Structure 1
Amino acid sequence: MSDASLEVFDRRESEVRGYIRSFPVVFDRARGSVLTTADGRDYLDFFAGAGTLNYGHNNPLFTRALIDYLERDGIIHGLDMATSAKKAFIEAFEQYVLAPRGLDYKLQFTGPTGANAVEAALKIARQATGRTNIVAFTNGFHGLSLGAVATTGNAKYRQAAGVSLGDVTRLPFDGYLGDGFDTLDLFEKMLHDTGSGLDLPAGVIVEAVQGEGGINVASIPWLQRLRAITEEHGILLILDEIQSGIGRTGAFFAFEAAGIVPDVVTVSKSISASGLPMALVLLKPEVDVWKPGAHTGTFRGNNLAFVSARAALENYWADSAFTDGVDERSAQLRAALDEIVAAHPELGLTTRGRGLMYGLVCDGDTSLAGRVSAEAFQRGLVIETSGAFDEVLKFLPALTITADELDRGLAIVRESLDAVLAA
């Protein structure tokens, strides 16, 4: 059987498998922004592990650090015991993330997935306030374990839970009702009206930029008003930075643009830098009311991830050179997407996003994004879709992508769109 055959996956892997259906090849190697299949074909990557590989595949800075750590028999598994790798990561996080931003957070190392970080955030909000209700927003995505999926909007994921999903009130995200409507008017009205049926929430969970929901960008005034409302009513504000953080929108955190300080922040995906599983929750000290061991997990101490995460902080966040580069590539991406929109006025396309997290929105024909994605894959580009109807072509390249690679990928998108329209 050829290494490139998918037969064993069809025969043995669960029907739950997803991305393999959109990208049906056997990938074997990767470096930077290029994936290579078992039979030697190269693909440009505009997917970046759904935002897990902000620094690219097999970044040599992290590979070297990991090899050195392994060769000296560094601790691999340590639960939540103290290790030199964890100590060095915490110190680097203080130096390169917290201190420059004037942030005072405790670090909770949860199980290694974003969903587990969200579970912990919801639990601590309820413990700290003594209340149970959580406010989440339309088209939000926060994970698929039961607590997290209760705050997730997409019907497909919610129905898969198989049980009722309670203690969450869904409210409209910024822009959900169109221009001219501030959706927080409804939230504020309901909080002040004892007949609204809204139980005073323990917390509000929100993404500054919704990724899976369709690259919906919360405006700075909207986020600032949400922070003010939650402070007025003693509600904890939880920012889900799992996909939009770690430089994805330019700054380390997507919420930084609004100048707000959340009570709780969930972090995962690219925090390990190397693609190794890692997640953490940032807590204001007064919110950290956990009893020892109250939220535990066998793999909450991924020391290899601490090693690569520390290397990323030291190499990419010591000055502004990295974020300056992200800003340059962002301007390049936005200009190219605007050109595509202008070239096809009959399609009613729009663009939205920040940093290197952008969407080409195909509301007029919700199947168009998926068809372009499939055509682009045939031409050597991995790019996914998002949104309630998969109507958004989602641009999520590595933050380390070169200008030439970005141009080549965008050329494939243009060619693919033309081919789909011609067909």
Structure 2
Amino acid sequence: MKLLDQHINDSVFTTHESEVRSYCRSWPTVFNRASGSWLTDSDGREYLDFFAGAGSLNYGHNNPILKAELIEYLTDDGITHGLDMATVAKGRFIETFTSKVLEPRGLDYKIQFPGPTGANAVESALKLARKVTGRESIISFTNAFHGMTLGALSVTGNSMKRAGAGIPLVHATPMPFDNYFDGVVEDFNWFERVLDDSGSGLNRPAAVIVETVQGEGGVNVARAEWLRALEQLCRRRDILLIVDDVQMGCGRTGEFFSFEEAGIKPDIVTLSKSISGYGLPMALVLIKPELDVWTPGEHNGTFRGNNPAFVTATKAIDTYWADGTLSADVHRKGERIHEVFTDLSTRHEGLSTRGRGMVRGLVFDEATAASKVCATAFGSGLLAETSGPSDEVVKLLPPLTITDDDLNRGLDILARSVEEVVA
């Protein structure tokens, strides 16, 4: 019997798997197949996926174009594990990423392959910034999320996640993210004041790390002018600027990089999640050439050379980023989500919406309503998650390649779920 045709009793997970599991508590079923924007459980029930592996499946589940390329590579006995050795698959990826992503955008970066997770890319970026500058402190922002390892947690805002460290998280200082004070004061006033004040107690920072759109923090969108002002502040003060594009990169906001809209050029960029194109573990750290001061092996990892991921990543760039078709489609579909969310917000008090491209949030003044909406939607065959410090936001991350029919079908389910909960 084929593996996917076998029945698995869900008690296997509740009995033997750690209590740390989380997503499965919101979506209590056993999944076994997936294609495009759909997941199917072991009972044959289908679910539209507006979660997309937390943004790691921008091109959908088992994308047939990427799958064919991967199967051919594996059938030909291509390298699967190569550490940081030179391979044809890695070389092809570097050539393609440079010629079709970096050069057309006027970006000049060295490419580092850290361990294959977003958190490891962030750890690498923080270590490098400290090594380059000789300083320890990092500036992060309120409601930021950068990963669950100790360095990444130190620049993460969520108190529950930080508490899991079990030790003090030091050498990082949070500052207000754009519009944190709801427009009452200009957000940079405090930051610039403490930088200049010899009595502030703030150590001169090595770097600032920022998400242009805070996904886990509640779909908080930084204005382009705020990002430009942040870059200018960093340049004036000789502080490195790190953009964490782990979730918002690879087209999620419309352009390949989420910072393109602002016209900035960060010193260091972290990518993961959808960079492989197929949900395979992979991460990149993009470094301005003059900052590449690593010594050999100073940051390494056993799985930093995931060659099957190089294969699918190269094919994804060749297929979807050779022109502006996907980018335009993301903006168009994002506007469709915005229309539905704006209509719901207009008709119901206590709702608002925010987002960019195909990351959109429906915000509830009554925080518990967001989880109820997601639970109701799951009962109707739709996966959507909550985000924000109080889980007050229904966050949508559909595959960028979702069809218009599937997008509208999912939005109809979500709208009905909101009506049911709010009513």
TM over 0.5: yes
Q: Does 1:378 align with 2:384?
A: no
Corresponding residue number in structure 2 for 1:350: 352
Q: 1:281 aligns with which of 278, 285, 288?
A: 285
Q: CA RMSD in A?
A: 1.0
- In structure 1, runs of 5+ residues without a counterpart are none
Q: Does 1:420 align with 2:411?
A: no
Q: Does 1:234 align with 2:238?
A: yes
1:266-315 Cα distance to aligned partner (Å, 9 max, x none)? 00000000000000100001111101100010000000000000000000
DSSP-derived class of the 1:254 partner: coil
Q: Percent identity?
A: 57
Q: Distance between the aligned counterparts of 2:196 and 2:168, measured in 1?
A: 28
1:186-207 Cα distance to aligned partner (Å, 9 max, x none)? 1111111111111110000000
Q: 1:266 aligns with which of 270, 290, 304?
A: 270
1:167 is aligned with what amino acid? H
DSSP-derived class of the 2:319 partner: helix
Q: Does 1:134 align with 2:130?
A: no
1:336-360 Cα distance to aligned partner (Å, 9 max, x none)? 111111121x3x2110000000100
Decide which moves more: 127-136 or 330-339. 330-339
Contact conserved, 1:4 with 1:39, CA < 8 A, in 2?
no
Q: Per-residue deviation at 1:182?
A: 1.8
Contact conserved, 1:3 with 1:26, CA < 8 A, in 2?
no
Corresponding residue number in structure 1 for 2:74: 70
Q: 1:28 aligns with which of 32, 39, 43?
A: 32
Q: Distance between the aligned counterparts of 1:125 and 1:247, measured in 2?
A: 26
Q: Distance between the aligned counterparts of 2:307 and 2:186, measured in 1?
A: 44
Q: Distance between the aligned counterparts of 1:185 and 1:395, measured in 2?
A: 33
Corresponding residue number in structure 2 for 1:165: 169
Decide which moves more: 43-52 or 179-188. 179-188
Q: Per-residue deviation at 1:4?
A: 5.2
Q: Distance between the aligned counterparts of 1:20 and 1:398, measured in 2?
A: 20
1:88-140 Cα distance to aligned partner (Å, 9 max, x none)? 00000011111000100000000011000000000000000000000000000
Q: Distance between the aligned counterparts of 2:416 and 2:10, measured in 1?
A: 28
Q: 1:322 aligns with which of 321, 326, 346?
A: 326
Q: Distance between the aligned counterparts of 1:57 and 1:185, measured in 2?
A: 45
- In structure 2, runs of 5+ residues without a counterpart are 1-5
Q: Distance between the aligned counterparts of 1:187 and 1:121, measured in 2?
A: 22
Q: Does 1:114 align with 2:118?
A: yes
Q: Per-residue deviation at 1:21?
A: 0.3
Corresponding residue number in structure 1 for 2:17: 13
DSSP-derived class of the 2:217 partner: coil
1:64 is aligned with what amino acid? A
Aligned residues: 419
Contact conserved, 1:4 with 1:37, CA < 8 A, in 2?
no
Corresponding residue number in structure 2 for 1:402: 403
Q: 2:193 aligns with which of 176, 189, 195?
A: 189
Q: Does 1:45 align with 2:49?
A: yes
Q: Per-residue deviation at 1:3?
A: 2.0
DSSP-derived class of the 2:259 partner: helix
